[in-house]
Amino acid sequence: MIPASDRLALGGFEIIRLLDGTFRVDGGAMFGVVPRTLWAAKAAPDHENRVTLALNCYLVRTPEATVLLDTGVGPDIGRRHTDFYSFDRRPGLLESLAGLGLKPEAIDIVVNSHLHFDHCGGDTLKTSGGAWVPAFPRARYIVQRGEWEQAMNPVGRDKPSYLPARLKPLAESGRLSLIDGDVPIVPGLEAVLVAGHTALHQGVRATSSGRTFFYAADAVPTAAHIGLDYIMSYDLYPVDTFETKKALLERAEAGAWVIGFSHDLRVPFGTLRRTGRRLDIVAAL
């Protein structure tokens, strides 16, 4: 069952946080240059200094389409990654969808914020014969062109984060839709570049009846990352993340946006609350 706190009515849209499980990473890596004494007050670490994170996906139901934002790590991630990150896929994305009474065929569009394996792992499934096939057989998969090119020929620091063999079937099946920059997806839904985590990392803005939801993905991975210096060590361009996040939060505050986070387990939907100079993210519901 999907808890009521994971559902948001946004004008004529419905938005639902769907879990693909949880994992654990080093708290220092998650909060970058911020000292442990500060971040530990927001996200309590375990005895190995790790914090528990969600693999969040969001389902956006509009009158025109059923759209899935990111697909988690997927069921076929393998022992090595599972041991390293303590992935616990209970529930996995397909079970979360089934909890809504939805089959994979119900998804019209998948949008990947970027193609690191913990955001697109569920795009494809491994058959018993060892081939990779699209997990959502009717869906069009929307990805930034430059991110796709990086994923197909990964070089540099985040090379281990890309698993291109699992993604190639999206192109081969004709289901891949490459976009450049800010692009409308369906009425009320738009892909928006929020660069920094990767060069072409994107969020998704949903607007209905004057209300806005923004899936910030790894630009604001948890509500604890609201501080401008709270930037993951994984980010390839942290100076860009700083500027992107600053602009995003200004717009979100001015427009009373609801924000969705890629990795927050406790806060599926957040809004900004200002007390004098201090800005916090609080649960939207």
Contacts with Zn ion by CB under 5 A lie at 116, 218
Structure tokens, 58? 């969001």
Structure tokens, 258? 């609801």
Residue with smallest beta-carbon separation from Zn ion = 116
Q: Which is nearer to Zn ion, 116 or 225 (CB)?
A: 116
Contacts 24+ apart (CB under 8 A), 165-173: 165/132, 166/74, 166/76, 166/117, 166/121, 166/123, 166/124, 166/132, 167/115, 167/120, 167/123, 167/124, 168/132, 169/124, 169/131, 169/132, 169/133, 169/134, 170/123, 170/124, 170/134, 170/141, 173/133, 173/134
> Minimum distance from CB of 72 to Zn ion (Å)?
12
State how beta strands 258-261 and 211-217 pair: parallel
Q: Which is nearer to Zn ion, 13 or 234 (CB)?
A: 234
Q: Which is nearer to Zn ion, 124 or 198 (CB)?
A: 198
Q: Helices in the chain by DSSP H: which ranges?
A: 27-31, 36-39, 79-85, 93-98, 117-120, 145-152, 164-172, 238-255
Q: Which is nearer to Zn ion, 209 or 233 (CB)?
A: 233
> Minimum distance from CB of 115 to Zn ion (Å)?
8
The secondary structure of residue 139, as a DSSP letter, is: P
Q: How far apart are CA 68 and CA 91, in angstroms?
A: 16
> Minimum distance from CB of 161 to Zn ion (Å)?
6
Q: Which is nearer to Zn ion, 11 or 32 (CB)?
A: 32
Q: Half-sphere exposure of residue 4, counting CA atoms within 13 Å on the CB side?
A: 1
Per-residue CA distances from 252 to 179, 207, 278 (Å): 24, 12, 15
> Minimum distance from CB of 85 to Zn ion (Å)?
13
> Minimum distance from CB of 102 to Zn ion (Å)?
26
Q: Helices in 99-198 by DSSP H: which ranges?
A: 117-120, 145-152, 164-172
Q: Which is nearer to Zn ion, 50 or 61 (CB)?
A: 50
> Minimum distance from CB of 25 to Zn ion (Å)?
11
Q: Which is nearer to Zn ion, 218 or 264 (CB)?
A: 218
State how beta strands 140-144 and 176-179 pair: parallel
> Minimum distance from CB of 198 to Zn ion (Å)?
7
The secondary structure of residue 32, as a DSSP letter, is: T
Q: Which is nearer to Zn ion, 24 or 116 (CB)?
A: 116
> Minimum distance from CB of 263 to Zn ion (Å)?
10
